[in-house]
Amino acid sequence: MTRVFLSYARADLDAAQELARAIDEAGHDVWWDRHIEGGSRFISEIDKALGDAEAVVVLWSKDSCESAWVQDEAAEGRESGRLVPIALDSTRPPLGFRQFQSIDLSQWNRTGAPVNLQALLSAVDSLASVDGPAVEATAAKTAAGPQISVCVLPFANMSGEPEQEYFSDGISEDIITDLSKVSALSVVARNTAFTFKGSAVDVPTVARGLGVSHVLEGSVRKSGGRVRITAQLIDGKAGDHVWAERYDRDLTDVFAIQDEISEAIVAALKLKLLPEEKKAIENRGTSSAEAYDLYLLARQYWITGNHGDPRREERVIRICTRATEIDPDYARAWALMAIAQSSLRFGFSSDDKVDDGVAAARRALALDPTIAEAHCPLARVFAEQGQYVEADAEIAAALKLDPDSWEVNKEAARMLYRQRRIDEAAQHFEKATQAMETDFHAWGMLFTCYKAQGREEMYAPTATSLLTQVERVLAEDPDNGAALSLGAASLAILGQPDRAKQWIGRAVLVDPDNLNMRYNFACALANTDDLEGAIEMLRPVFAICGRTIINVAESDVDLDELSKHPDYRSMMAEAKQRLGMD
């Protein structure tokens, strides 16, 4: 039997009542505020029940996401490892809770037990106390002292030039990376921190929502050969400045400034910086401020550029090439170049002479064997050759070096999906979307995995997240084919077929030669049982595509039903004969 605390908003009383009954009937001890007796002190009763609980079940909905009470109770569950989040609708959880996979009950009509009640009960069972009650674990944690944690908000670009945004973002990312190397400090991930970019924030509210003790904010002004960086560390609870400084130096001193900021924060928080941590922080990979500036620019294009547009890859390759000309020993620039080359070669080109990124990847690893992302192009080449044992070995090496990397988890998921190891692929696509929420392609592939698994409870929330990111891209580039194709798929999933068809028609009209876009549309049409439409969408693709698309199509679960169609089989055979793949 597990002691369960149920947190919910008043508007969701009907759902809370049904779930409390179901959890109780499963043999668990459920506490919710209906147990408060007349005359009891409301807050003290809740606090005691929350401390005694072994599982904190939180019902996220539009109303509960706006409730300070629910957020505080959820934070208690998160910080003690007892959180069991439930999604009652498609509303995204508050910041600080989006990295936790919610059990989806959005299709439940709140009458009787939900269809996937077992998922909830399994999560509750897994939190049953073994060595003693949760209150003892909480007491032990308190006795050990509160954990010091920080969120680094994106530094504001004060240059007066929007095109300099990459530099301030790069500085922010590097400070996050530096502080993450301090073992005594917990740092909020870049993905979560950057959701506040461009917003006026109330620091105590941010700190409470993310469950951190401190917040770092600042600004960057870059002009010519000079840079001015301001930074201030703020106590998340009191809102007071713990430390603040302004640095006005030559651009060549940018590395020294970053080192000083990290070390000043460690000192202000009274933490101990180990010698190996100090050495790791000071290792920038280059002594050239110009090469570093170019790398930050290329990295920003890679992150924010439009997936599906080869100009992104070409731009990154050009910039990284220049960075490595300035500093031939800049491993990070070589690694990013390799990733872009690999993506261009296997994602867009049918020309075997296009660079596959192997040489640049090997150069990066020779200079710095700790760069996890440099293993990705090597894995991709092995996979394209059907050498999955070797590809898996490269991915394993990358994950060991950086298990939270966006690029590594994306490539791991891609490799596993190609081998139809769907359960494992889904796990890595989940991590990829957590590491880089704006990656709409990863959201689209995650939905495909859920569909293959038959996890219907995840369809709507995943499609909603996908559509959110697609609409962000289309606001800047209305004719982006990749975004339109995956957006059309999400609209079909969300019950908007007419709008989905409008997007398909518009995309094919403005970008008729985009093979990746046509392939994605075919998958969407196949998923809505429009097999004839899918075949017509694929016909020009199979007529001119390279080996990569054919290999992907043969292992793609989205095309399982389509692959039984005689016209599809004929098209596939002709494409293989043309490419000498028989």
The band of 137, judged by pLDDT with boundaries at 50, 70 and 90, is very low
Tokens of 349: 């080109």
Q: What is the pLDDT of residues 397-440, one digit of tens each?
A: 999 998 888 999 999 998 998 888 999 999 999 889 888 888 88
Task: Please check the confidence at residue 162 and state whether its pLDDT lies above 80.
Answer: no
Mean pLDDT of all residues belonging to the chain: 85
Q: Do domains 3-142 and 149-284 have the same CATH topology?
A: yes
Mean pLDDT of 1-16: 89
pLDDT at 42: 53
- For residue 147, the model assigns a pLDDT of 67
- From 7, 65, 2, select the one nearest 33 (Cα to Cα): 7
Please check the confidence at residue 240 and state whether its pLDDT lies above 60: yes
Contact between 248 and 226 (Cβ < 8 Å): yes
Between 340 and 139, name the one with better pLDDT. 340
More confident residue, 378 or 473: 378
Note the pLDDT of residue 38.
42
Confidence of residue 451 (pLDDT cuts 50, 70, 90): confident
307-339 as b/e: b if 16+ CB within 10 A: bbbbebbebbbebbebbbebbebbbbbbbbbbb
Per-residue pLDDT of 476-493, as tens digits, reads 778 777 888 889 888 988
The pLDDT, as a whole number, for residue 39 is 41
pLDDT at 393 over 90: yes
Q: Could you tell me if 467 and 488 are in contact, meaning their C-beta atoms sit under 8 angstroms apart? A: no
For residue range 65-121, list pLDDT tens digits in order: 888 788 888 888 887 778 889 999 888 888 778 767 788 888 888 888 887 788 788
Q: 462-500 b/e with 16+ CB inside 10 Å = b?
A: bbbbbbbbbeebbeeeeebbbbbbbbbbbbbbbeeeeeb
> In this structure, what token pair is assigned to residue 430?
């989940």
Q: What pLDDT, on the 0 to 100 scale, is given for residue 133?
A: 36
Find residue 218's DSSP bridge partners.
Answer: 231
The CB density around residue 144, as the number of other CB atoms within 10 Å, is 8
Report which of residues 208 and 335 the model is more confident about. 335
More confident residue, 342 or 130: 342
Q: What is the CA radius of gyration of the chain?
A: 26
Per domain, the residue ranges of the chain are 3-142, 149-284
On the question of pLDDT at 54 being above 60, the answer is yes
**What's this model's pTM, rounded to 2 decimal places?**
0.69
Q: Give the residue-averaged pLDDT of 509-514.
A: 81
**Residue 189 backbone phi and psi in degrees, to 5:** -65, 155
Percent of the chain having pLDDT more than 70? 93
The per-residue pLDDT for 43 is 63
229: Cβ–Cβ under 8 A, 6 or more apart, which residues?
A: 155, 171, 218, 219, 220, 221, 246, 247, 257, 261
Bridge partner residues of 230 (DSSP): 219, 246
- So what's the pLDDT on residue 128? 65
The domain 149-284 is classified under which CATH number: 3.20.20.450, 3.40.50.720, 3.90.1300.10, 3.40.50.10070?
A: 3.40.50.10070
pLDDT tens-digit series, residues 268-302:
998 887 888 888 888 778 989 999 999 999 998 88
Token pair listed for 393? 């070995």
* Least confident range of 148-157, 214-223, 236-245, 476-485: 476-485
Please report which confidence band the pLDDT of residue 544 belongs to, taking 50, 70 and 90 as the band edges: confident
Q: Output 357 or 126, whichever has higher pLDDT.
A: 357
φ and ψ of 561, to 5 deg: -70, -40
pLDDT of 36 over the 80 cut: no
Say which CATH topology domain 3-142 has. Rossmann fold (3.40.50)
In this prediction, residue 215 carries a pLDDT of 94
What type of residue sits at position 579?
L
pLDDT tens digits, 546-577: 888 888 888 888 888 899 999 999 999 999 99
Say what percent of the chain tops pLDDT 90. Answer: 31
Q: Which of 480, 559, 547 has its CA nearest to residue 517?
A: 480
